[in-house]
Amino acid sequence: MDEARAWLDKLHALDFGRTVKIMNVCGGHERSITHAGLRGALPKWLELVPGPGCPVCVCPEEDVYQAIQLALRDKVILVAYGDMLRVPVNVRKGEVRSLAEAQAAGADVRPIASPLDARKIARENPGRPVVFFAAGFETTTAPTAAMLAEGVPPNLAILLSGRLTWPAVAMLLDSGSPGFDALVAPGHVSTVMGPEEWRFVVDRHEIPCAVAGFGTESLLASFYSVLRQLKTGERFLDNCYTEVAHPGGNPTAQRFMNAALDVVDANWRGIGVIPNSGYALKPALAQHDARVLFPDHADPGRRRAGEMPPGCDCAQVVLGKIYPNQCRIYGKACTPRNPVGPCMVSDEGACRIWWAGGVRV
């Protein structure tokens, strides 16, 4: 706490005479910031903007729809990380609109905590197809790749909806109006991919950037680092999570990912296709690729940008263009009990985090 106090004092000693915005792109960062009440403790001129840090929020509607259709198929066991179960899709009245509703309708949908749970369930049910709906960023995609590289039972298929974090930030920066002055890069992603992955923010765009962990001290240190850079005009990629995020990241995880996955253009819910921002199973693993095995359950007609429920501003929230409580239906039609958009469903969604943190309209 003394260390946090010292960082806060240093931050309050800075002044810019204008509003300065720092974006984070990690649901874990946003949770730590909100639950520690950091926004209230920081100088008034400093705004912390939650950006694209929630993989459940950007998972395309057509993928959730396909997962629901597969779950409703005879004999199929559909497994997914718990957050995915309540994500709603746009369907006609009376149709199943989430995996949780499919489960209530009798489908065998099971929440899991890791890819190893999926493999275990497949081994225990050799006579049934098991589909693992694997949505996540690099940190959760890496264990899926490791499992695939090590070998999986023939009845296990993966519906992969993996995303890379940095291309969304690159897209914002390339737009010319990113909406932030500095970036706090995700510590966990950096442990896998290496902090260097964020060097482009500094080198190509001259935006201060620092990798941070989830502790208050690490976050405050990263804020101070990027603000000092803004003040002095210096630009460098700082690492405020050196105890965990090492240069080069995790070579073993990267080897598994390179062995099992290709990087492809990918759709982000409400945002559209971002080049080289998704993972797909390599063709050699087609026998485990749900997109290859069950093409009749895909609905390419759903593939479009703007696929949010009516009134939902999730895409704007994910891109940091508005704060969660600026959504038109935040806390009104949309609450954790009755979520309208995915940002109110996931523990990594900014709307849910802000609501749980007591932020009201």
Q: Segment 4-23, which members bind ligand SF4 (CB under 6 A)?
A: none
- Tally of CB atoms within 10 A around 220: 25
Report the C-alpha gap between 236 and 248 in whole angstroms: 17
- CB-based contact 318:270 (threshold 8 Å): yes
Position among 8, 64, 341, 348 found at the interface with ligand SF4 (CB under 6 A): 341
Report the C-alpha gap between 100 and 338 in whole angstroms: 13
Which CB atom, from 112 or from 308, has the smaller least distance to ligand SF4?
Answer: 308
Size of the site for ligand SF4 (CB under 6 A): 14
Token digits for 332? 């009104």
Q: Which stretch binds ligand SF4 (CB under 6 A): 96-104, 230-238, 239-247, 337-345?
A: 337-345
The least distance separating ligand SF4 from the CB of residue 90, rounded to whole angstroms, comes to 12
Residue sitting closest to ligand SF4 (CB): 341
The least distance separating ligand SF4 from the CB of residue 121, rounded to whole angstroms, comes to 30
Q: Which distant-in-sequence residues (6+ apart) come within 8 Å of 125 by Cβ?
A: 77, 155
Which CB atom, from 25 or from 312, has the smaller least distance to ligand SF4?
Answer: 312
Cα separations (Å) of 186 from 154, 165, 208, 247, 316?
A: 35, 9, 14, 14, 20
Which CB atom, from 146 or from 319, has the smaller least distance to ligand SF4?
Answer: 319
The least distance separating ligand SF4 from the CB of residue 355, rounded to whole angstroms, comes to 8
- CB-based contact 259:45 (threshold 8 Å): no
Which CB atom, from 271 or from 334, has the smaller least distance to ligand SF4?
Answer: 334
The least distance separating ligand SF4 from the CB of residue 11, rounded to whole angstroms, comes to 29
Q: Segment 304-323, which members bind ligand SF4 (CB under 6 A)?
A: 312-314, 317
The least distance separating ligand SF4 from the CB of residue 148, rounded to whole angstroms, comes to 32
Residue by residue, DSSP assigns 8-67 as HHHHHH---SS-EEEEE--HHHHHHHHHTTHHHHS-TTEEEEE-S--HHHHS-HHHHHHH
The least distance separating ligand SF4 from the CB of residue 330, rounded to whole angstroms, comes to 4
* Burial class for 19, CB neighbours closer than 10 Å (0-12, 13-18, 19+): exposed
Position among 334, 346, 348, 353 found at the interface with ligand SF4 (CB under 6 A): 334
Q: Which of these, 269, 339, 333, 295, lies nearest to 64 by C-alpha position?
A: 269
Asked whether position 135 contacts ligand SF4 by CB under 6 A, the answer is: no
Which CB atom, from 238 or from 313, has the smaller least distance to ligand SF4?
Answer: 313
* Sign of the C-alpha dihedral computed for residues 114, 109, 165 and 43 taken in this order: negative
Q: Which residues bind ligand SF4 (CB under 6 A)?
A: 312-314, 317, 324, 327, 329-330, 334, 340-341, 343-344, 351
